[in-house]
Each structure stands twice: as C-alpha cells, then as structure tokens.
Structure 1
C-alpha cells in the first residue's frame, strides 16, 4: 500500500502543496526503498493535485464554466456580447470623461494614447474568453464573471477600476471612467 501524502500550506510558494518530506515514510530514502526516485526539486514538492482546465458551472450546465478561482465564466455568445459592450463602454467613458486621451479601435484592439506618447492597450482574447490590458504597470487578464456581471482578474480586481488607476498614473491626474 502506497503511503498517503498530506496536503499542507507551502511556506515557500504560498499555496497548498503536497510535501513529501513532511509525511512519514516519504523521505527520499524511504521512497528509494520502494523503488521510487525523486529529483532534488521533487523531494520538497510532490505534484500538486489541482484540476486542470475549466469545469462545468455549479448548476452542471456546460454552457457556463468556472475557472480555478470559482468565477462563473460566460458562454461563447455571452463572452462576445459582454466583451464588445465593455470595449464600447471604455470608448464612451474616454470621450466623455477624459478627452485628452486619444483612442483608436482596430481588429478588436483598443489603443489609448496619452499626451506623453505612452499607451494602454485593451483587447479581446477570444480563445480564452478574456479581455487583456497592457499598461506601464504590466499585463493583466480579465474574465467575465456572469454571477456578478463584472470583468475581473485574480484577486477580485475589476477591469474598469484598474483602467482608471493606470490611466490616472499615465495622465498624471485623476481619470474617472465609471
């Protein structure tokens, strides 16, 4: 019978991992005696049992899926409709609240140009059902959460709130888009 590997909080990675070294009989010497050999890295982190890919939503409906953080994802048609609506909402907000920011839309890519020639790029990523945002602060990926009706990234950060923050930094004055 194979020894059981316990899941413990990982002190170095900040997530739950299976630590072979913390489980009796799972030292490299004990595994070697059972005919198993571990690389130096694997001695500390046995494979983590995380589900791969996306799964059917909580209602069992495969048209709605959840990601690893439990965000209920949109179907293909919902994604298209919501992504296009968000890009149009950003354009309208820029026209209304930040006329000094120039913008251009081409092939589902919205480019915001600032007076100092810096840019923020917002674009649809159809295969992943995401909207991506690239700014001086970095690149960010947002999923549409059908439960809340918001575009969010890891940690619950919302697309429009992030865009306001990044645009304010690049314009060097407050920008309101909501």
Structure 2
C-alpha cells in the first residue's frame, strides 16, 4: 500500500492541474496524456470516454412518462392450485411415457428419475434433460442438451405448455429432440 501512495499523489496532482498546464512529458505515454487532457477539459462528460463495448452507446430517448415494460403478475394467469395440478399432471405423464420409451430405445445410460419435483432424463453420453416447476412464474422450466434452457407457460387456447419466445410446445419439442438423439420416434402428447 505504501508504494502506491506516491503514484496516487502524482495522479492526483495531474488531475488537479489546470487545462493550460502541460501535462505531458517524456515520462507519460501519449494515451495517458490524451486522457488527462480530456479529463481536465471543463464541460466534458465522463461518458465521452466510455469504451465502445459498453452496454449502452447513447441515450435511450424514452418519453418522460415511460416506465418500461410492466411486470407480469403470474398469479393472475393461473392460480397456484391450478398451476400445480397442470404442472404435476404434465410432469408425471411425461415420466411414465419416458420410462416406456426407455424400454424401446435400449440406450446405455438411459434413466428417468423424479425427485424433489424435478424430472431428470439421462441419455448417457447424449446428454441430460432436466425439467422442474417454477411456481412464482407459473412455468415449467426445461434444460435440454440440444436447445438449452426454455421456460414454458400454460396456454389455455391450445391446452399445452408453450415457450413464448419460439412458440414451441413442450411435448412436441421433446418428441422431436428425443427422436433426433435416440433415432426412434416417441409420442409424448
């Protein structure tokens, strides 16, 4: 810490120097001199020197009364009891059908496990699927070795769990991916 104090003192003096003071000498790099001159220039925003890789490249120009997207109250979408009934029914139905599918494909390392409200489908060297309920969001979350993470919401119109981003149906997505991985079709609907 003591070795840093002289350096911090010199930097502090350079930053306090008036704009007319020559800040550059043979001891300073050009980049440091440029930065020190710009910092000591009055009425210059510190954001002027932000990296071009920064997360925001300029003002958002939102109307003053804009408050951004409204939060979704998932309790109004499905009651908690209805969510649990639908999600449990879906997960238990998938568990039964996946266990039957495991007898058909005869894949080394194929295993279906359900515990602590998490359904896990292991496909040996092909990867692992994990499915669980997210009660606060009223969603079923799926982690897939092919498509990655997905969050499925109950769609009253189609009476199925649907991923809003891609409009994928949970059962249809699993059917497609399992056939692709294991080479045999499966009916999970």
Shorter-chain TM-score range? 0.5 to 0.7
State the 1:92 CA deviation.
Answer: 1.6
State the 1:40 CA deviation.
Answer: 4.4
Whether 2:62 is the aligned partner of 1:53: answer no
What TM-score does the superposition give when structure 1 sets the normalisation length?
0.60
Indicate the SS of the match to 2:120.
Answer: strand
Q: Distance in 1 between matches of 2:186 and 2:158?
A: 24
State the 1:115 CA deviation.
Answer: 3.7
Structure 1 runs of 4+ with >4 Å offset: 47-50
Name the structure 2 match of 1:92.
96
Name the structure 1 match of 2:118.
109
Query: Which is higher, the Rg of structure 1 or of structure 2?
Result: 2
Indicate the SS of the match to 2:174.
Answer: helix
Name the structure 2 match of 1:41.
58
Q: How many residues align?
A: 125
Structure with more relative contact order (C-alpha pairs < 8 Å, separation 6 or more): 1
Choose between structure 1 and 2: higher helix proportion.
2
Tell me if structure 2 keeps the 8 A contact 1:144–1:151: yes
What TM-score does the superposition give when structure 2 sets the normalisation length?
0.57
Indicate the SS of the match to 1:116.
Answer: helix
Show structure 1 runs of 5+ residues with no match. 1-38, 57-62, 66-72
Distance 1:174 1:41, change over 3 A: farther
Q: Distance in 2 between matches of 1:120 and 1:96?
A: 16
Tell me if structure 1 keeps the 8 A contact 2:126–2:181: no
When the two chains are superposed, the root-mean-square deviation of aligned CA atoms in Å is 2.5
State the 1:123 CA deviation.
Answer: 0.8
